[in-house]
């Protein structure tokens, strides 16, 4: 593709800690509920009767959260998360049960706002049952580290997420978060390279639009408006490519139209043109 070549070539090299394995497909790695825990990639996990009973009791507490608001909801979330933590501890010798409990506890602590506890449970779930939970749990842990402002740890954990399955949607999320953290840390050139790497691994469609949007915003931040324009054009030309479903095409068109980088680029160009006009007027006034 001709787009992005000239202005982005300086940033094509890989960055330390930024995984850039080419993407070959979606990978089917979608969020899973507790009920799916018995269906790993290969074979079927059999839970003990005691494990099923313990998980059922904890699940009943989690179900009680529905419909609650405010302090009551937080208290119910805490009780449910603690119950799942207890199951994880009591069934440490049965990873199939303990991993479900740890993963679910992590989600509940996350909702409750206890980020360190959520992180701990996510890491435990990844350790107990990598085939089922590694990527999802590591992404959850990385998010908790990021929200706690532990940026270096979050960057490293996001890299692990990508390593588990580079072709998945979660890996793409991790790549974008790495780039966003670099940009937030005022490491703009590295962020641009990371966004470019994420764009190169993005699937056509929504992923391409999202990565292009972030890349364009980073170029605007750097002051290279032409490069930002190329990134937007890349999304417009690539995202709908090969898509025949009119419903999907309509959604992609709407997503392209609503790219925040388009308005940001227009504002930046208006500001740039306004500054140029003001300079010309000032020079003309001085020459009189």
Report pLDDT digits (tens) over 123-172. Answer: 999 999 999 999 999 999 999 999 999 999 999 999 999 999 999 999 99
Q: Which of 29-33, 101-105, 163-167 has the lowest mean pLDDT?
A: 29-33
Res. 285: pLDDT tops 90: no
Write the pLDDT tens digit of every residue in 233-268.
Answer: 999 999 888 788 899 999 999 999 999 999 999 999
Q: Which of 17-26, 123-132, 199-208, 261-270 has the lowest mean pLDDT?
A: 17-26
Q: From 112, 100, 178, select the one nearest 139 (Cα to Cα).
A: 178
Q: How confident is the model at residue 275, as a pLDDT? A: 61
Rounded to an integer, the average pLDDT of 92-108 is 97
Q: How confident is the model at residue 279, as a pLDDT? A: 54
Q: CA 256 to CA 278: how far, in whole Å?
A: 33
Helix (H, G, I), strand (E, B) or coil at 107: helix
H/E stretch holding 28 reads: none
Domains and CATH numbers, the chain: 1-25+190-288 (no CATH), 30-164 (1.25.40.10)
Q: Is the dihedral of CA 56, 62, 67, 71 positive or negative?
A: positive
Rounded to an integer, the average pLDDT of 5-26 is 43
Helix (H, G, I), strand (E, B) or coil at 186: coil
User: Which residues have CB under 8 Å from 203's CB, separation 6+?
Assistant: 23, 25, 26, 172
Two structure tokens written together for 283:
């020079």
Helix (H, G, I), strand (E, B) or coil at 194: helix
For residues 36 and 284, the model is more confident at 284
Q: CA 2 to CA 220: how far, in whole Å?
A: 20
Mean pLDDT of the chain: 86
Res. 19: pLDDT tops 60: no
Q: How confident is the model at residue 44, as a pLDDT? A: 78
238 neighbors 1 (Cβ within 8 angstroms): yes
Q: CA 90 to CA 86: how far, in whole Å?
A: 6
Helix (H, G, I), strand (E, B) or coil at 66: coil
Q: CA 67 to CA 176: how far, in whole Å?
A: 34
Q: How confident is the model at residue 274, as a pLDDT? A: 74
Two structure tokens written together for 80:
């449910």
Q: CA 151 to CA 233: how far, in whole Å?
A: 32
User: Which residues have CB under 8 Å from 266's CB, separation 6+?
Assistant: none
Tokens 């608001």 label which residue? Answer: 69
Res. 283: pLDDT tops 70: no
Q: Exposure of 87 by Cβ count < 10 A (0-12 exposed, 13-18 middle, 19+ buried)?
A: buried
């Amino acid at each position: 593709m001709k787009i992005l070549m000239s202005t982005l070539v300086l940033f094509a090299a890989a960055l330390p800690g930024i995984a850039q394995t080419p993407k070959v497909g979606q990978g089917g790695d979608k969020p899973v509920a507790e009920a799916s825990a018995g269906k790993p990639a290969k074979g079927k996990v059999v839970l003990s009767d005691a494990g099923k009973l313990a998980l059922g009791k904890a699940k009943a507490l989690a179900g009680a959260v529905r419909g609650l608001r405010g302090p009551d909801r937080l208290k119910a979330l805490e009780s449910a998360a603690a119950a799942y933590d207890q199951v994880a501890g009591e069934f440490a010798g049965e990873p199939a049960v303990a991993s479900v409990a740890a993963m679910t506890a992590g989600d509940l602590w996350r909702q409750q706002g206890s980020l360190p506890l959520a992180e701990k449970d996510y890491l435990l779930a990844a350790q107990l049952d990598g085939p089922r939970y590694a990527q999802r749990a590591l992404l959850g842990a990385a998010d908790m580290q990021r929200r706690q402002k532990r940026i270096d740890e979050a960057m490293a954990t996001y890299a692990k997420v990508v390593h588990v399955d580079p072709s998945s949607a979660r890996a793409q999320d991790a790549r974008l978060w790495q780039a966003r953290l670099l940009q937030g840390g005022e490491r703009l050139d590295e962020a641009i390279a990371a966004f470019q790497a994420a764009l190169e691994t993005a699937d056509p469609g929504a992923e391409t639009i999202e990565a292009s949007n972030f890349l364009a915003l980073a170029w605007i931040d750097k002051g290279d408006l032409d490069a930002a324009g190329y990134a937007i054009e890349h999304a417009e030309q690539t995202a709908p490519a090969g898509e025949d479903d009119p419903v999907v095409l309509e959604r992609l068109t709407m997503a392209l139209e609503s790219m925040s980088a388009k308005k940001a680029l227009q504002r930046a160009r208006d500001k740039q043109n306004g500054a140029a006009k003001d300079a010309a007027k000032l020079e003309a006034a001085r020459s009189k």
